[in-house]
């Protein structure tokens, strides 16, 4: 839910600085979840509103713009994967967004004013997919890459070649790069999620994230099974196909055998744009693919060049985003579920309604404070929206429809799973069950342990965990390693092959590096990054278990609270017994570093800060290289900083480094140093 914003004109400088910093941090986190992990944390319309607020604040208070701000970057950062990196010959920009006809009118006026006359526009549907660049040489597809950070993407050539709608050979022997959108049709998405649920795997949040996850597969057979499709809509080399307008470019793409969306139309005035938007606001649910708006582009390509681009978006195009679809429904019940850490979460159960083409009857209420702030009661009529086909959320209560006998909802005092007293810990919004033997927590902990980012036991999702618990085949994570095929064959939908595959996945997980085990144990406040930092420092689980709070807190990136939580976990007799049982089952408890750090490296032991936009390599790639050579990469400049590497548009960090006398390098200096070190690590 969006917070209540103070009007920008009423903000003090200090308030504005604090809000900008908070928005930058939150939006970067949401962006990583959306672009890199394909697992959105918030609905599109919430992200869009927060982003628009940040843009407005930075326009009013430009001194607080940082190079790391999401307004200064295209798409997501480059996440570390096993896919090779590809440098784009021309940046792959994102589109600017507007959310109302009034904002669209303003964009039209600005564009007309810049050109000096009224331009015609080409209207296209905004496909809800993943941007891709295709490179053809003499008509043959030789490379496909994702947008990445706009400058450097991931090589997905092998996977793209499995997509039937993308030709591997054009109808003419042309050398050209074209760009478009890879998407998952709605029917493919529905089939995929049904299969994942049947396999006990987590369902994808929406078709866009399903398409992104499918395209980044290392196994091309999986990508092929996902039945992706594509539309091509752009080239930075129009002269190679002899076109001067966007509409004629789409026609030429079609002639070359490239897939294009046929719903584009050329118009000359705003009334036609509004008519087109109204038409597809109604038709969107009937399309075989997902759209989340309409794209308006200046049709004449020479005028596009004249208008140019900002650092992030083209000035010659804009995306009108559909408003979140809303429906009225009635709350019949509020259910409470228990997570692996004991947090108890309320969920509204409502009269089923159709939203974004699906039936919705449940919506998370997040925590007791949220529920009480909304004043949601049993019997209330509420607005429900599901922007971007992601997470259903209650907007507001329609007070005029509230029953006369309505009563304020009473927050429960006991755990719904084990009946233990719930507690409200200081500084937390969640109610929590602190009973370590709570059945609901055990189920969630086991599911977490088997999850992809933890021990990665493929095929052991929530449904399978539930069956194993019900059959009393498992009771804790150690008992997973005592399962056998005969037990699995008694479970619903398990055959010889699926049982054998799960036993093999369990066996494979024994060889994971220590950081996965530490994360999988579900220690409160210990995420995957903290688990890695601690594992790197102490090397063995025994060493972590015996370390003091002060020793753990000294690890760079680990604070007092996380250290305290780790010490508390390993001090419990149940934890000590669990660790011994895992050792007895030959589950690896050592850190398996894939890099031997050369202590003679120039970078060994140095504290280094990166700032600004890096062009030669992405920031994650540089960070990993530096860490592999013994450096400590920090996010802030201090007197302890040994070296600052400054990219383009470096800001306050560069100024601070200079004032402290910190050595400053350009990215080219780093490349030269890497060459001396040997760039093979």
- State the catalytic residues: 126
In 3D space, the residue among 318, 322, 394, 333 whose CA is nearest the CA of residue 356 turns out to be: 322
Give the distance, in angstroms, between the CA of residue 5 and the centroid of all CA atoms in the same chain. Answer: 25
The tokens describing 21, both together, are: 């910093």
Alpha-carbon span 176 to 369, nearest angstrom:
56
- What's the chain's length in residues? 681
- Are 382 and 397 contacting, i.e. CB atoms less than 8 angstroms apart? yes
> Quick check: helix, strand or coil at residue 103?
helix
Q: In degrees rounded to 5, what are phi and psi of residue 154?
A: -105, 140
User: Tokens representing 519?
Assistant: 């994360």
Q: Where are the extended beta strands (E) located within 103-228?
A: 121-127, 130-137, 140-146, 152-154, 176-183
Return the residue matching tokens 């760079």: 556
Rounded Cα–Cα distance for residues 148 and 615 (Å): 13
Q: Phi/psi class of residue 139: alpha, beta or left (left: φ > 0; alpha: ψ in -120 to 50)?
A: left
Token pair belonging to 451? 């999850």
DSSP lists the bridge partners of residue 354 as: 359
CB 427 within 8 A of CB 421: no
Taking the CA atoms of 174, 177, 178 and 182 in sequence, report the sign of the dihedral they define: positive
Three-state secondary structure call for residue 104: helix
Under 8 Å between Cβ of 248 and 297? no
Q: What is the CA radius of gyration of the chain?
A: 27
Q: What whole-number distance in Å separates Cα of residue 39 and Cα of residue 647?
A: 29
| Cβ-Cβ contacts under 8 Å for 471 (sequence gap 6 or more) | 487, 490, 491
Structural tokens at position 234: 């752009």
Q: How far apart are CA 69 and CA 611, in angstroms?
A: 12
């Amino acid at each position: 839910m969006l917070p209540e914003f103070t009007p920008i004109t009423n903000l003090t400088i200090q308030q504005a600085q604090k809000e900008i910093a908070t928005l930058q941090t939150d939006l970067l986190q949401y962006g990583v979840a959306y672009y890199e992990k394909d697992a959105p944390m918030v609905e599109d319309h919430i992200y869009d509103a927060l982003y628009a607020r940040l843009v407005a604040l930075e326009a009013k208070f430009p001194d607080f713009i940082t190079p790391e701000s999401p307004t200064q970057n295209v798409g997501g950062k480059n996440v570390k994967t096993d896919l090779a990196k590809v440098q784009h010959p021309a940046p792959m920009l994102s589109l600017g967004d507007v959310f109302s006809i009034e904002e669209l009118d303003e964009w039209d006026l600005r564009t007309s004013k810049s050109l000096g006359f009224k331009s015609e526009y080409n209207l296209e549907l905004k496909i809800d997919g993943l941007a891709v660049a295709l490179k053809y040489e003499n008509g043959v597809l030789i490379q496909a890459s994702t947008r990445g950070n706009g400058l450097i993407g991931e090589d997905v050539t092998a996977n793209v070649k499995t997509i039937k709608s993308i030709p591997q050979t054009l109808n003419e022997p042309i050398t050209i790069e074209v760009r478009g959108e890879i998407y998952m049709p709605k029917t493919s998405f529905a089939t995929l999620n049904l299969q994942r649920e049947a396999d006990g795997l987590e369902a994808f949040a929406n078709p866009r994230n399903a398409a992104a996850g499918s395209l980044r597969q290392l196994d091309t057979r999986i990508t092929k099974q996902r039945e992706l499709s594509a539309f091509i809509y752009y080239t930075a080399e129009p002269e190679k196909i002899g076109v001067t307008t966007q509409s004629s470019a789409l026609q030429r793409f079609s002639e070359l055998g490239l897939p294009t969306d046929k719903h584009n139309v050329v118009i000359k005035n705003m009334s036609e744009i509004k008519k087109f938007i109204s038409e597809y606001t109604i038709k969107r649910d009937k399309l075989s693919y997902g759209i989340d708006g309409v794209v308006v582009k200046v049709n004449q390509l020479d005028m596009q060049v004249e208008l140019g681009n900002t650092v992030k978006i083209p000035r010659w195009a804009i995306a009108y985003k559909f408003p979140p679809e809303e429906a009225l429904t009635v709350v019949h019940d509020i259910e409470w579920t228990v997570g692996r850490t004991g947090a108890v979460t309320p969920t509204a159960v409502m009269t089923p309604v159709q939203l974004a083409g699906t039936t919705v009857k449940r919506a998370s209420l997040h925590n007791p404070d949220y529920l009480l702030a909304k004043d949601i009661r049993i019997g209330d009529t509420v607005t429900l929206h599901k922007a971007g086909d992601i997470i259903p959320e209650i907007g507001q209560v329609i007070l005029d429809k509230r029953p006369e006998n309505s009563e304020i909802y009473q927050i429960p005092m006991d755990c719904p799973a084990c009946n233990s007293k719930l507690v409200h810990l200081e500084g937390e919004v969640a109610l929590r069950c602190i009973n370590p033997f709570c059945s609901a927590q055990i189920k969630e902990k086991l599911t977490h342990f088997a999850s992809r980012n933890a021990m990665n036991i493929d095929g052991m999702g929530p449904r399978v965990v539930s069956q194993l618990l019900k059959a009393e085949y498992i009771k804790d994570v150690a008992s997973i390693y005592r399962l056998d095929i005969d037990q699995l064959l008694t479970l619903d939908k398990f055959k010889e092959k699926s049982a054998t595959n799960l036993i093999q996945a369990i066996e494979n997980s024994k060889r994971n590096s220590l950081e996965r085990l530490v994360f999988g144990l579900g220690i409160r406040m210990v995420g995957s990054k903290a688990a890695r930092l601690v594992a790197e420092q102490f090397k063995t689980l025994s060493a972590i278990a015996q370390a003091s709070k002060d020793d753990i807190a000294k690890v760079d990136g680990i604070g007092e609270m996380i250290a305290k939580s780790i010490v508390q976990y390993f001090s419990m007799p149940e934890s000590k017994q669990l660790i011994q049982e895992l050792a007895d089952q030959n589950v690896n408890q050592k850190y398996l570093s894939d890099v031997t750090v050369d202590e003679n490296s120039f970078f060994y032991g140095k504290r280094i800060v990166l700032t600004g936009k890096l062009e030669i390599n992405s920031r994650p790639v540089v960070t990993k290289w530096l860490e592999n050579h013994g450096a400590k990469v920090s996010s802030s400049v201090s007197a302890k900083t040994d070296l600052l590497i400054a990219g383009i548009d470096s800001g306050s960090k560069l100024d601070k480094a200079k004032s402290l006398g910190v050595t400053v390098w350009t990215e080219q200096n780093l490349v030269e140093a890497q060459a001396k070190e040997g760039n093979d690590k």
